[in-house]
């Protein structure tokens, strides 16, 4: 990818990320989560992380969110996860899930909060490896395989967003910082309500992946967008042993 095109795409996705934040209403997270997987797939892990970080930061500077720290950290990490999976790299995503889930279950609250609230995250953890294996090559792939890959990446991506927020809240100790989570009873109530909403968001993300992501990936594949990226990676000089 040319440097000028890379910068342009980062700017476009950062702006789109911010716009979706402003348009958000309804569930507990902003609408930017619905394009996080597409950001990661198109831009890759590094550029995708930067676009999400810029978009989420600028948006919250313009319209302040008292819980800003959750989104600014969770959104870029989930986009980066999608970028790694789209490249067929499962180990970085698996490492993120392993560390954060271990920290969550080691914390007393993690063992006290209902297990059903993180079932989608546990399922995403299981799906990390197959999502990466199915997504190793975008160019020339069948429509069925492309659809399945996008659904898996979208699901894992939005679950990663939830996982990072939970990690910050519980083992990260931010429940002690914000008055909304002052007691365990308050934390449990907000946690369970948010978890119920997150399952709805999982479904919406899957729908967006199919309705928006698949046509976009087909067009980019026909334009040899991903093939050019692959060829560039293959022509990189091999460092001396």
Prediction pTM value: 0.86
- For 231, other C-beta atoms within 10 Å of its C-beta total 11
CA distance linking residue 100 with residue 7, whole number of Å:
31
Q: What is the pLDDT of residues 157-187, one digit of tens each?
A: 999 999 999 999 999 999 988 877 878 998 9
Q: Which comes out higher in pLDDT, residue 46 or 229? A: 46
Q: Token digits for 135?
A: 């997504």
Separation between Cα atoms, residue 118 and residue 33, nearest integer Å:
17
pLDDT (tens digit per residue) in 119-145:
999 999 999 999 998 887 655 557 778
Alpha helical stretches, state H, the chain: 3-23, 36-62, 68-86, 91-106, 108-112, 119-134, 143-169, 184-208, 214-222, 225-234
């Amino acid at each position: 990818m040319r440097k000028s095109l890379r910068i342009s795409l980062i700017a476009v996705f950062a702006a789109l990320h911010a716009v979706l934040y402003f348009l958000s209403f309804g569930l507990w997270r902003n609408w930017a989560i619905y394009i996080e997987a597409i950001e990661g797939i198109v831009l890759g892990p590094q550029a995708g992380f930067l676009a999400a970080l810029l978009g989420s930061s600028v948006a919250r500077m313009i319209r302040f969110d008292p819980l800003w720290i959750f989104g600014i950290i969770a959104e870029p990490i989930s986009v980066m996860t999608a970028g790694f999976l789209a490249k067929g790299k499962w180990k970085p995503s698996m490492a993120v899930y392993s560390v954060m889930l271990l920290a969550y279950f080691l914390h007393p609250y993690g063992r006290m909060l209902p297990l059903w609230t993180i079932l989608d995250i546990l399922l995403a953890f299981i799906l990390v490896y197959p999502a990466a294996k199915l997504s190793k090559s975008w160019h020339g792939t069948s429509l069925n395989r492309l659809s399945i890959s996008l659904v898996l990446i979208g699901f894992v991506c939005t679950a990663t967003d939830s996982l990072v927020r939970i990690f910050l809240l519980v083992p990260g100790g931010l429940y002690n910082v914000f008055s909304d989570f002052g007691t365990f009873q308050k934390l449990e109530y907000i946690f369970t309500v948010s978890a119920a909403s997150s399952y709805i968001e999982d479904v919406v993300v899957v729908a967006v992946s199919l309705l928006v992501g698949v046509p976009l990936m087909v067009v980019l594949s026909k334009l040899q967008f991903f093939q050019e990226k692959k060829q560039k990676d293959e022509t990189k000089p091999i460092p001396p042993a």
